[in-house]
Amino acid sequence: MTHAPTLPAMFDAPALGTAHGAASPALRRPVIGVTTQTLHAIEGIPDGLPESWVMNQRYFRAVTMVGGVPLMIPLFADDLATVRALYEHLDGLLIPGGVDMDPVNYGEPMRPEVGRLDAARDAVELQLARWAIADGMPVLGLCRGAQVINVACGGSLYQDIPAQLGTHLQHDCYPTRGFTRTHLAHPVAVTPGSRLEAALERSSVQVNSMHHQSVKTLGEGLAITAVAPDGVVEAVEGTGEGFVVGVQWHPEVFDADDPSSKPLFEAFVRACVEYSERR
């Protein structure tokens, strides 16, 4: 199987001389907003540490690996005007994994199985996702990020897969349960003809799995494009022309040459380049 050339070559500076003796400008690298998480929303963080916004480095490295320029988005939930000012500089939006979403965001009472919450992150990510989808800005959601896309479009979530679905398949393969982050938990079937299939160039992939929530009611303007063997939704994408893709796994943890993860980031950044050129 062959893939398109590695993206950073698209952004290399060309030779200084041209036939007319003038220089040609290099293609501008797209700026990708990467949302953050409130430090104290993470279990085990001491109360005495300063209030901070944090995010796993792997998301940023995955963006730069394919030519993007990552920009950390602070969680100014009480100052959305500042969030909007940051948004105006973006060519794409990456929503990473993290803690559970508060069910209040999709109109349901909270079940006892729901874990840690981050209200500021919910507010900022939902607003960013809605702005981006409305504007046609490319959006890539990973794990929690796929759930944010669904809720932003009016969908809902299963708050706990074991309690509500009773599946035999384990989806919560967390490091705290003894699994590595690269543990391939199960396969997913990818919908033929989908944007996800076009990016991965395959109809089935083995994925890691670190979640206990998943799509319940599908959001408006979305389609399910990957499912696990037990029927749990593993990917959604927008049905319009814009790049809106959310996958329930964590492709950012794998090596740069992994055939089932890097192509997804490449497709996302290509879409960001195209969006930037249309602006």
Catalytic residue among 173, 250, 266, 272: 250
5 backbone dihedrals φ, ψ, rounded to 5°: -55, 150
Q: Tell me, rounded to whole angstroms, the distance of Cα 246 from its chain centroid.
A: 6
**Position 106: which residue type?**
Y
122 vs 267: CA distance, rounded Å = 26
Whether residue 128 contacts residue 33, with contact meaning beta carbons closer than 8 Å, is answered with yes
Q: Would you call 252 a catalytic residue per the annotation?
A: yes
97 vs 36: CA distance, rounded Å = 10
One-character DSSP codes across 128-196: HHHHHHHHT--EEEETHHHHHHHHHTT--EES-HHHHH--SS--B--GGGT--TT---EEEEEPTTSHH
Q: Would you call 3 a catalytic residue per the annotation?
A: no
Catalytic residue among 197, 234, 237, 252: 252
114 vs 159: CA distance, rounded Å = 6
Q: Would you call 201 a catalytic residue per the annotation?
A: no
Instruction: Give the 3-state secondary structure of residue 32.
Output: strand
Residues in the chain: 279
**Token code pair at residue 40:** 């104290």
**Position 85: which residue type?**
A
Catalytic residue among 143, 153, 173, 272: 143
163 vs 110: CA distance, rounded Å = 13
Active site residues: 143, 250, 252
